[in-house]
A and B are shown apart, each in its own frame.
Chain A
Amino acid sequence: MELLFFPLIVAKMSDLQEFRQLLQTVLKRVYGDKLRVDDVNRLSGGASQETWLMNLSGGSAPETLILRRAPQRSQDAPSSAAIGLPNEAKIIGYAEKAGVPVPNVVYVLQEHDGLGEGYFMSRVPGETIARRILREDRYAEARSALPAQCGQALAGIHSIGIGDDPALNLSQGLDQLSQYEDFYLSLGACRPIFDLAMVWLRENAPDPLTPVLLHGDFRLGNIMVDETGLAAVLDWELCHLGDPREDIAWMCTNSWRFGNIDKRLGGFGDLEHLLDAYAADGGPVISPKDIDWWEMMGSVKWGVMCMMMYESFRTGAEPTVERAAIGRRVSETEMDLIRLLEAQRHA
């Protein structure tokens, strides 16, 4: 969600010095007494996360490290679907063992560290900004490698058995439809295309596949890409259990093609290539047509999310111009929905 990321206002110098000292104290325990935190800068962050980049020296430490942390002063509750940073760190660990490219989690913050919830992880070089990945020549090779790499990564994620640790919500297709329909109806908005899409989705829901661990927000913007392709899967906060087609379709939702509408897979590739690699790596055999229902569900979800973000302006909870403006993006998903519904008439 590019709109939700703001370059950050620099905190007061004294606060930053104190913060640097705290980080250094914690990291000395990981890397030894010679470690120094030379520099710390906030990279970006939405309402629910802070991301800091640290430059380190001394000891056995790497030159740079990333801290992902829950905001301290903000009363913004993390979105109810977010699993919390310690759980996120745990799942990234599982993913690494399953061979999925992820940052390496080096330390999860404890209560006595005095830094709140969060974890330190390695810095994976590369690009996350979708429009650059889609348009710059230097990523041409990456774009052709990405479909298969994403298929392999998703097959890896979907193969992870988490047992009950952490306990995650199970949310299948019809559960999500009901949840988003309830949000929509509670807002009092009257957008008949959404009603038509919701009726169609309910009447045409496919039988659920065996539930697996889902990333929950797998798309450009949430993956690190370098010149050779997928470098790391990031932003695990919306993990849940559910239908594997959900993760595949989210990347196909037109809102996440960033203008390249003719490339169904994320604006960069063919869905078939992802599905072939996914099945070759042990995922269930899925055809492009099986993704249709979930792609429409993706547009419903993003449209309702835009309505909810506008709602936070309307109620006065977040009276910013950005929250007002996002209400005028609902019509993007209306257009996607009516075109997807038209396609179903001919299916």
Chain B
Amino acid sequence: MHDQPSVRELVQAVKNFVDETAMPELTGRAGFHARVASNVLGTILRDIDTRFEADASEKTRLLDLLEAPADTSLSKLNEDLRQRIRAGELTIRSDDLMRHLKMTAIDQLKVDQPNYSALKKAIEEP
């Protein structure tokens, strides 16, 4: 399949339209939703840019932490992690667990809400 324009470029084009053309024309509830829509398009762009790499690191950490076979899917790994946590086998005393969860939260928040106050703190912390 061709990619001229790419998905990323198409989303950027729509975001430009929302920001520069639609939003100034809208007021009230529609204006509010246009602002939300623009933020969502920003999230999509960041997701496109980082998901592949973030998923790969998350998977590497989980394979390590859970000592799981390399072909286990990411969603299965997370389901296993949840069960180990719920069974009390992994607790806040595990450095590896805490490091993994924090790195995953950082990567997710960089996409979802890059200006959130706790993200900056988390990146600064050791």
Contact = CB atoms under 8 A, between A and B. Distances in A.
Contacts of B113: 328-329, 331-332
Interface of A: 3, 6-9, 190, 192-193, 195-196, 199-200, 254, 257, 259-261, 320-322, 324-325, 328-332, 334-336, 338-339, 341-342, 344-345
A334 B92 contact: no
A334 B27 CA distance: 33
A321 B37 contact: yes
B115 to A, nearest CB: 8
21 contacts: A6-B29, A7-B27, A190-B75, A190-B79, A190-B82, A192-B101, A193-B105, A196-B101, A199-B85, A261-B117, A325-B36, A325-B39, A325-B43, A329-B113, A331-B113, A335-B118, A338-B101, A338-B122, A339-B125, A341-B98, A344-B92
Interface of B: 27-29, 32-33, 36-37, 39-40, 43, 75, 78-79, 81-82, 85-86, 88, 90-93, 97-98, 101-102, 105-106, 108-109, 111-113, 115-119, 121-122, 125
A110 B28 CA distance: 32
Contacts of B111: 328
A345 B29 contact: no
A254 B120 CA distance: 14
A45 to B, nearest CB: 11
A261 B29 contact: no
A179 B28 CA distance: 35
B40 A325 contact: yes
A162 to B, nearest CB: 37
A345 B101 contact: no
A3 B29 CA distance: 11
Instruction: Give the 7 A-B residue pairs with the shortest CB-CB distance, closest first.
Output: A261-B117, A328-B112, A331-B108, A335-B118, A6-B29, A331-B112, A7-B28
A334 B117 CA distance: 13
Contacts of A320: 33
A192 B118 contact: no
B23 to A, nearest CB: 13
Which residue, A6, A9, A196, A324, has most C-beta atoms of chain B within 10 A?
A: A196
A31 to B, nearest CB: 32
A326 B101 CA distance: 21
Given A195-B82, A321-B37, A335-B109, A260 B117 contact: yes
Contacts of B36: 3, 321-322, 325
Given A195-B86, A335-B118, A329 B101 contact: no
A292 B43 CA distance: 32
Contacts of B85: 192, 195-196, 199
Contacts of B88: 199
